Amino acid sequence: MYVAPSILSADFGRLSDEIKAVCDAGADLIHVDVMDGHFVPNLTIGPLVVNAVKKVATVPLDIHLMVDNIPFFVDLFLKLQPKFLSFHIENDPHPMRIIETIRNSGVHPAIVLNPHTPVSSLKHIISEVDMVLLMSVNPGFGGQKFMPLVYEKIRELRELIDQKGAKCMIEVDGGVNGLNVAALDEAGADIVVAGNFVFSSNDYKVAIQSLKLEN
Ligand code: DX5
Ligand code: ZN
Protein backbone atom coordinates (compact mmCIF):
# COMPACT_ATOMS: atom_id res chain seq x y z
CA MET A 1 0.00 0.00 0.00
CA TYR A 2 1.26 3.48 -0.83
CA VAL A 3 0.69 6.12 1.83
CA ALA A 4 -0.02 9.81 1.28
CA PRO A 5 -0.19 11.78 4.55
CA SER A 6 -2.62 14.70 4.29
CA ILE A 7 -1.06 17.86 5.66
CA LEU A 8 -4.51 19.17 6.59
CA SER A 9 -3.95 17.62 10.01
CA ALA A 10 -0.36 18.84 10.35
CA ASP A 11 0.69 21.59 12.76
CA PHE A 12 0.80 24.54 10.34
CA GLY A 13 2.95 26.55 12.71
CA ARG A 14 5.68 23.97 12.15
CA LEU A 15 4.73 22.97 8.62
CA SER A 16 8.21 22.45 7.20
CA ASP A 17 9.23 20.23 10.16
CA GLU A 18 6.02 18.26 9.76
CA ILE A 19 6.65 17.68 6.04
CA LYS A 20 10.23 16.61 6.67
CA ALA A 21 9.10 14.27 9.44
CA VAL A 22 6.50 12.40 7.34
CA CYS A 23 8.91 12.17 4.40
CA ASP A 24 11.57 10.66 6.71
CA ALA A 25 8.92 8.37 8.17
CA GLY A 26 8.23 6.73 4.80
CA ALA A 27 5.50 8.77 3.10
CA ASP A 28 5.22 7.98 -0.61
CA LEU A 29 3.43 11.21 -1.52
CA ILE A 30 2.39 14.38 0.29
CA HIS A 31 -1.36 14.88 -0.05
CA VAL A 32 -2.35 18.56 -0.26
CA ASP A 33 -6.01 19.54 0.19
CA VAL A 34 -6.92 22.75 -1.64
CA MET A 35 -10.35 24.08 -0.55
CA ASP A 36 -11.96 27.28 -1.79
CA GLY A 37 -14.77 27.87 0.73
CA HIS A 38 -17.37 27.33 -2.04
CA PHE A 39 -17.27 23.71 -3.17
CA VAL A 40 -16.63 22.71 0.43
CA PRO A 41 -17.31 24.67 3.63
CA ASN A 42 -13.64 25.18 4.44
CA LEU A 43 -10.74 27.23 3.11
CA THR A 44 -7.16 26.02 3.10
CA ILE A 45 -4.03 26.97 1.21
CA GLY A 46 -2.99 28.45 -2.12
CA PRO A 47 0.03 28.06 -4.40
CA LEU A 48 2.33 30.18 -2.24
CA VAL A 49 2.16 27.76 0.67
CA VAL A 50 2.02 24.67 -1.54
CA ASN A 51 5.20 25.82 -3.27
CA ALA A 52 6.88 26.08 0.15
CA VAL A 53 5.68 22.55 0.92
CA LYS A 54 7.13 21.31 -2.35
CA LYS A 55 10.54 22.80 -1.57
CA VAL A 56 10.76 20.90 1.71
CA ALA A 57 9.20 17.60 0.57
CA THR A 58 11.48 14.81 -0.61
CA VAL A 59 8.57 12.93 -2.19
CA PRO A 60 6.15 14.16 -4.90
CA LEU A 61 2.95 16.09 -4.22
CA ASP A 62 -0.56 14.74 -4.65
CA ILE A 63 -2.80 17.80 -4.94
CA HIS A 64 -6.55 17.33 -4.30
CA LEU A 65 -8.65 20.25 -5.53
CA MET A 66 -11.98 20.82 -3.77
CA VAL A 67 -12.98 23.98 -5.63
CA ASP A 68 -15.71 25.48 -7.81
CA ASN A 69 -13.70 27.13 -10.55
CA ILE A 70 -11.68 24.08 -11.60
CA PRO A 71 -9.90 25.48 -14.73
CA PHE A 72 -8.62 28.48 -12.74
CA PHE A 73 -7.21 26.33 -9.93
CA VAL A 74 -5.82 23.71 -12.34
CA ASP A 75 -3.75 26.41 -14.06
CA LEU A 76 -2.49 27.74 -10.73
CA PHE A 77 -1.38 24.36 -9.41
CA LEU A 78 -0.03 22.87 -12.63
CA LYS A 79 2.75 25.44 -12.35
CA LEU A 80 3.93 23.58 -9.24
CA GLN A 81 4.23 20.29 -11.16
CA PRO A 82 2.78 17.86 -8.63
CA LYS A 83 2.82 14.15 -9.44
CA PHE A 84 -0.99 13.95 -9.35
CA LEU A 85 -3.54 16.74 -9.74
CA SER A 86 -7.06 15.62 -8.92
CA PHE A 87 -10.42 17.34 -9.30
CA HIS A 88 -14.02 16.39 -8.50
CA ILE A 89 -16.16 14.99 -11.31
CA GLU A 90 -19.28 16.46 -9.67
CA ASN A 91 -18.17 19.93 -10.50
CA ASP A 92 -17.17 20.41 -14.11
CA PRO A 93 -19.17 19.88 -17.31
CA HIS A 94 -16.02 19.20 -19.36
CA PRO A 95 -13.77 16.87 -17.39
CA MET A 96 -12.11 15.57 -20.59
CA ARG A 97 -10.77 19.06 -21.30
CA ILE A 98 -9.37 19.41 -17.80
CA ILE A 99 -7.74 15.98 -18.04
CA GLU A 100 -6.09 16.93 -21.33
CA THR A 101 -4.79 20.20 -19.90
CA ILE A 102 -3.28 18.37 -16.93
CA ARG A 103 -1.69 15.64 -19.04
CA ASN A 104 -0.26 18.13 -21.54
CA SER A 105 1.60 19.72 -18.63
CA GLY A 106 3.29 16.43 -17.78
CA VAL A 107 1.23 15.85 -14.62
CA HIS A 108 -0.86 12.73 -13.92
CA PRO A 109 -4.58 13.59 -14.10
CA ALA A 110 -6.86 12.16 -11.43
CA ILE A 111 -10.60 12.30 -10.79
CA VAL A 112 -12.31 12.39 -7.40
CA LEU A 113 -15.72 10.96 -6.51
CA ASN A 114 -17.66 12.11 -3.47
CA PRO A 115 -19.06 9.30 -1.30
CA HIS A 116 -22.43 9.32 -3.06
CA THR A 117 -21.23 9.76 -6.64
CA PRO A 118 -21.54 6.39 -8.41
CA VAL A 119 -18.56 4.63 -9.99
CA SER A 120 -20.66 4.28 -13.17
CA SER A 121 -20.09 8.01 -13.79
CA LEU A 122 -16.52 7.06 -14.75
CA LYS A 123 -17.48 4.56 -17.43
CA HIS A 124 -16.46 6.73 -20.38
CA ILE A 125 -13.56 8.50 -18.77
CA ILE A 126 -11.67 5.83 -16.84
CA SER A 127 -9.14 5.18 -19.62
CA GLU A 128 -8.16 8.86 -19.63
CA VAL A 129 -7.04 9.20 -16.01
CA ASP A 130 -4.07 7.81 -14.09
CA MET A 131 -5.81 7.71 -10.73
CA VAL A 132 -9.28 7.78 -9.22
CA LEU A 133 -9.65 9.13 -5.71
CA LEU A 134 -12.64 7.71 -3.84
CA MET A 135 -13.77 9.87 -0.93
CA SER A 136 -14.64 7.90 2.18
CA VAL A 137 -15.87 11.05 3.98
CA ASN A 138 -17.68 14.13 2.71
CA PRO A 139 -14.83 16.43 1.67
CA GLY A 140 -14.02 19.50 3.72
CA PHE A 141 -12.38 18.46 6.97
CA GLY A 142 -9.86 16.08 8.46
CA GLY A 143 -10.68 13.70 11.28
CA GLN A 144 -14.12 12.60 10.07
CA LYS A 145 -15.65 9.16 10.40
CA PHE A 146 -14.82 6.61 7.68
CA MET A 147 -17.76 5.58 5.46
CA PRO A 148 -17.67 1.81 4.76
CA LEU A 149 -19.65 2.29 1.51
CA VAL A 150 -16.27 2.88 -0.13
CA TYR A 151 -15.40 -0.84 -0.02
CA GLU A 152 -18.11 -1.66 -2.55
CA LYS A 153 -17.05 1.30 -4.68
CA ILE A 154 -13.43 0.13 -4.74
CA ARG A 155 -14.55 -3.30 -5.96
CA GLU A 156 -16.79 -1.78 -8.65
CA LEU A 157 -14.00 0.52 -9.74
CA ARG A 158 -11.47 -2.33 -9.90
CA GLU A 159 -13.93 -4.23 -12.09
CA LEU A 160 -14.41 -1.22 -14.39
CA ILE A 161 -10.63 -0.71 -14.67
CA ASP A 162 -10.11 -4.39 -15.58
CA GLN A 163 -13.02 -4.40 -18.00
CA LYS A 164 -11.66 -1.37 -19.87
CA GLY A 165 -8.02 -2.46 -19.59
CA ALA A 166 -7.29 0.93 -18.04
CA LYS A 167 -4.07 1.73 -16.18
CA CYS A 168 -5.43 3.63 -13.26
CA MET A 169 -4.58 3.61 -9.58
CA ILE A 170 -7.21 3.70 -6.83
CA GLU A 171 -6.73 6.09 -3.94
CA VAL A 172 -8.98 6.31 -0.86
CA ASP A 173 -9.28 9.51 1.21
CA GLY A 174 -11.00 10.10 4.53
CA GLY A 175 -10.99 8.38 7.90
CA VAL A 176 -8.31 5.86 6.92
CA ASN A 177 -6.57 4.26 9.89
CA GLY A 178 -4.72 1.18 11.07
CA LEU A 179 -7.98 -0.69 11.52
CA ASN A 180 -9.57 -0.29 8.08
CA VAL A 181 -6.46 -0.27 5.87
CA ALA A 182 -6.25 -4.08 5.49
CA ALA A 183 -9.84 -4.23 4.22
CA LEU A 184 -9.13 -1.34 1.83
CA ASP A 185 -6.15 -3.27 0.53
CA GLU A 186 -8.20 -6.40 0.13
CA ALA A 187 -10.91 -4.49 -1.76
CA GLY A 188 -8.26 -3.23 -4.21
CA ALA A 189 -7.01 0.20 -3.09
CA ASP A 190 -3.46 1.16 -4.15
CA ILE A 191 -2.94 4.38 -2.19
CA VAL A 192 -4.41 5.61 1.08
CA VAL A 193 -4.53 9.21 2.24
CA ALA A 194 -4.28 9.65 6.00
CA GLY A 195 -4.37 12.93 7.88
CA ASN A 196 -5.52 12.54 11.43
CA PHE A 197 -4.24 8.98 11.85
CA VAL A 198 -0.68 10.00 10.97
CA PHE A 199 -0.41 13.50 12.42
CA SER A 200 -2.16 12.75 15.70
CA SER A 201 0.06 9.74 16.35
CA ASN A 202 3.10 9.87 18.63
CA ASP A 203 5.30 8.17 16.08
CA TYR A 204 4.80 9.01 12.39
CA LYS A 205 7.00 6.13 11.29
CA VAL A 206 4.98 3.54 13.19
CA ALA A 207 1.71 5.03 11.89
CA ILE A 208 2.88 5.09 8.25
CA GLN A 209 4.40 1.62 8.43
CA SER A 210 1.13 0.23 9.80
CA LEU A 211 -0.70 1.68 6.79
CA LYS A 212 1.83 0.16 4.40
CA LEU A 213 0.87 -3.29 5.65
CA GLU A 214 4.45 -4.44 5.38
CA ASN A 215 4.68 -6.20 8.72
C1 DX5 B 1 -11.02 15.75 3.39
C2 DX5 B 1 -9.66 15.69 2.77
C3 DX5 B 1 -8.77 14.64 3.31
C4 DX5 B 1 -8.49 14.76 4.78
C5 DX5 B 1 -8.27 13.39 5.31
O6 DX5 B 1 -11.76 16.67 2.68
O7 DX5 B 1 -9.75 15.46 1.37
O8 DX5 B 1 -7.57 14.55 2.57
O9 DX5 B 1 -7.40 15.55 5.09
O10 DX5 B 1 -8.11 13.46 6.66
P11 DX5 B 1 -8.39 12.23 7.62
O12 DX5 B 1 -7.42 11.15 7.25
O13 DX5 B 1 -8.13 12.82 8.97
O14 DX5 B 1 -9.82 11.83 7.42
ZN1 ZN C 1 -7.88 14.98 0.27
pLDDT at 37: 98
Q: How far is the CA of 196 from the centre of ligand 2 (A)?
A: 12
pLDDT at 18: 98
What average pLDDT does the segment 80-96 reach? Answer: 95
Full DSSP string of the chain: -EEEEBGGGS-GGGHHHHHHHHHHTT-S-EEEEEEBSSSSS-B---HHHHHHHHHH-SS-EEEEEE-S-HHHHHHHHHTT--SEEEEEGGG-S-HHHHHHHHHHTT-EEEEEE-TTS-GGGGTTTGGG-SEEEEESS-TT-SSPPP-THHHHHHHHHHHHHHHHT---EEEEESS--TTTHHHHHHHT-SEEEESHHHHTSS-HHHHHHHHHT--
pLDDT at 214: 78
What pLDDT band is residue 3 in, cutting at 50, 70 and 90? very high
For the stretch 38-83, pLDDT in tens is 999 999 999 999 999 999 999 999 999 999 999 999 999 999 999 9
What pLDDT band is residue 125 in, cutting at 50, 70 and 90? very high
pLDDT at 215: 60
pTM beyond 0.75, yes or no: yes
Instruction: Find out whether the beta carbon of 64 lies less than 6 Å from any atom of ligand 1.
Output: yes
pLDDT at 153: 98
pLDDT at 102: 98
Instruction: Find out whether the beta carbon of 5 lies less than 6 Å from any atom of ligand 1.
Output: no
173 is catalytic: yes
For the stretch 136-173, pLDDT in tens is 999 999 999 999 999 999 999 999 999 999 999 999 99
Which of 28, 33, 36, 130 does the annotation list as catalytic?
Answer: 33
33 is catalytic: yes
Ligand 1 atom with the smallest distance to the CA of 194 is: 12
pLDDT at 74: 98
Instruction: Find out whether the beta carbon of 210 lies less than 6 Å from any atom of ligand 1.
Output: no
